[in-house]
Amino acid sequence: MGDGLLAGGGLGSEAMAPERTRWSAEEHPAPLEKGLLQDDDSCSDCSSHDKPGSSLQSFVPEGKIHFPEMFQTSHLLFYERFRAYQDYILADCKASEVREFTAEFLEKVLEPSGWRAVWHTNVFEVLVEVTDVDFAALKAVVRLADPYLCESQVSTFTLECMKELLDLKEYRLPLQELWVVFDDSGIFDQTALAIEHVRFFYQNIWRSWDEEEEDEYDYFVRCVEPRLRLHYDILEDRVPSGLIVDYQNLLTQCEESYRKFLNLRSSLSNCNSDSEQENISMVEGLKLYSEIEQLKQKLKLIENPLLRYVFGYQKNSNIQAKGVRLNGEKITHVVSSTVTTGLLQSLLRDRLCPEPCKEEIEIQFHSDPLSAINACYEGDTVIVCPGHYVVHGTFSIADSIELEGYGLPDDIVIEKRGKGDTFVDCTGADVKISSIKFVQHDAVEGILIIHRGKTTLENCVLQCETTGVTVRTSAEFLMKNSDLYGAKGAGIEIYPGSKCTLCDNGIHHCKEGILIKDFLDEHYDIPKISMVNNVIHNNEGYGVVLVKPTIFSDLQENAQDGTEENKALKIQTSGEADVAERVDLEELIQCATGKMELYARADLSEQGEGNYEIVNELVAASTQKGQMKKKRLSELGITQADDNLMSQEMFVSIVGNQFKWNGKGSFGTFLF
């Protein structure tokens, strides 16, 4: 994971301890204190002086210089850091109060003097003694230890240079740059732990722009908890490597833009008012501010555990189709661990030669399904015989092929092991998969992703680990008579501009049943969805969730606030109301409902209400999308736009679905 981890933002193990190549540590996590404070109401227990012996382990830094042993504090578990920040350090403070709360915490637990530490930087390590602590500044007052121990990557860095450097710093060093020297008495355990929490916070949690954000609610809930969870999700291989790289790049871009913004704001304060340069700088500043806000929003989407699966890594598939063989032949691939005469006779009778053969069929035998998939060309067929097959790679299907099991799904099990990428990647124009059970373990990405083209899944079982099926923009997915369960994210994710048909399926025991992603980009159309006679049950959240930005919810509320004579959806662009472009929302909903009337009338049961809710919400959403599209066409000089939104056939059918025992209900809207 280290290659994709953040430098500066510090999401990886490298950020948790200084340069592992030079600072060795124990292989196993050290036993840790049960709490930084033994009693919330008592400060007398803060240092645990009466506790004989240290409960922390130690490590010896690698290098030519023999430094004393250090406290090993970098292997703290998630819940230990979580509890420390929530209960003892930050509590319910605002972003602007973080430094103050941290200083108050350190005053309670930190030994003010009498301990030694190694001052660690990217250039050198030097042994120092702490004589005092400036809690408000989060700095320690130090002096060089005797004997003088220093290891530097620069050979010309002498004792005199070190003294000059310390003199420039007034012998005051940031606490997060100090690693406490081990003492087995237990007196300095809390000091070492407290400094570790401060160091980890400023390396991995704090962002330079946090203090300027509005304090709508406490900083811990808004920023600390999601970033902490992301850090440990990365350490435990629960985040795709591509998403880590995306996050790293976004963080770097945001830091650079924010630095430019601060410099520009500083220069503006020194400019003469109403000067031409000031006006230019203000325009540039507004652009930078807008760019920073967009980057921060993207960072928050990845940091949030739920939204990470909703808007996260959009892997681009680079699979190249092989096309038709040069001789134009199509081959049937048979997968079986062993081939008996009885199995061969059955295959010939049922699949290979069900009728008198008019021409010869070439057959290739494989012992595992992955090799069969890799050997396929356009138009080939793969028949998987009963058995339990374990694969360690990805099924990359770029050509139009058929993958079918010979028997019942429970008899043809393909199990994916390893923390690799997606189980099945589909980019073929017409891919068909049937009668197979896919089992996913220790996964980071979803079980099936349709990047483009059409994929049909029939009579299959999907035992998921992370996300279930993802239907990307412009892709088409048909799922019939199948069972999907176990996803830690959504069972099925439907992206804008895609087409998804779900008939007679079971979707259950997932985080969310079906998640419809829309309005990520106004240029994409709403997905075309058909849901008929599915049973969506026992999901932790909603049966179906529609995700959209808050702005669209506000627009809908504005429409509902109008009078009976003017119940219209009002789209406002650049702060000016476009009164000429209004749509009667109630009329559109009635139109959509009329289209569905053939399938579902006023059924007031839970499943009926769920179907009706989905239709109404998607019609309202398409109305808003249509207005944005019409506005763009108008700006391009195209004055005529199709006002009949239903002519786009947004809804094939959403009827007959049963919603049972979902934690939050049958249908919900998630605003971000």
Which 3-state string (H, E, C) describes 27-79? CCCCCCCCCCCCCCCCCCCCCCCCCCCCCCCEECECCCCCCCCEECCCCCCHH
Question: How is 442-468 classified by DSSP, letter by letter?
Answer: S-SS-SEEE-SSEEEEES-EEE-SS--
pLDDT digits (tens, 9 = 90+) for 239-266: 777 788 889 999 999 999 999 998 888 8
Neighbour-count burial of 224, counting CB atoms closer than 10 A to its CB (0-12 exposed, 13-18 middle, 19+ buried): buried
Lowest mean pLDDT among 33-42, 195-204, 429-438: 33-42
Measure the N-to-C terminal CA separation of the chain; round to a whole number of Å.
Answer: 29
> β-pairing, 535-537 with 658-660?
parallel
Answer yes or no: are the C-beta atoms of 449 and 427 closer than 8 Å. Answer: no
**Res 562 pLDDT > 50:** no
Mean pLDDT comparison of 149-158, 333-342, 420-429, 560-569, highest-scoring range? 333-342
Mean pLDDT across the chain, nearest whole number?
78
Q: What type of residue is 189?
A: D
Sign of CA dihedral 643, 647, 651, 655: positive
Q: What's the pTM value of the predicted model, to 2 decimals?
A: 0.60
CA–CA dist 387, 338 (Å, integer): 9
Confidence of residue 587 (pLDDT cuts 50, 70, 90): very low
CA–CA dist 582, 161 (Å, integer): 73
CA–CA dist 119, 205 (Å, integer): 22
Ramachandran quadrant class, 219 (left: phi over 0; alpha: psi -120 to 50; beta: rest): alpha
What element of type H or E holds 253?
helix 241-269
Lowest mean pLDDT among 7-16, 447-456, 474-483, 487-496: 7-16
Residue 490, SS3? strand
More confident residue, 620 or 50: 620
Ramachandran quadrant class, 216 (left: phi over 0; alpha: psi -120 to 50; beta: rest): alpha
- Reading the block at residue 217, the tokens are 């609610």
CB atoms within 10 A of CB 63: 14
**Which residue matches tokens 């073929």?**
428
- Ramachandran angles phi, psi of 366, nearest 5°: -135, 150
Collect all residues with Cβ–Cβ distance below 8 Å to 451 and sequence separation of at least 6: 316, 317, 425, 426, 427, 472, 475
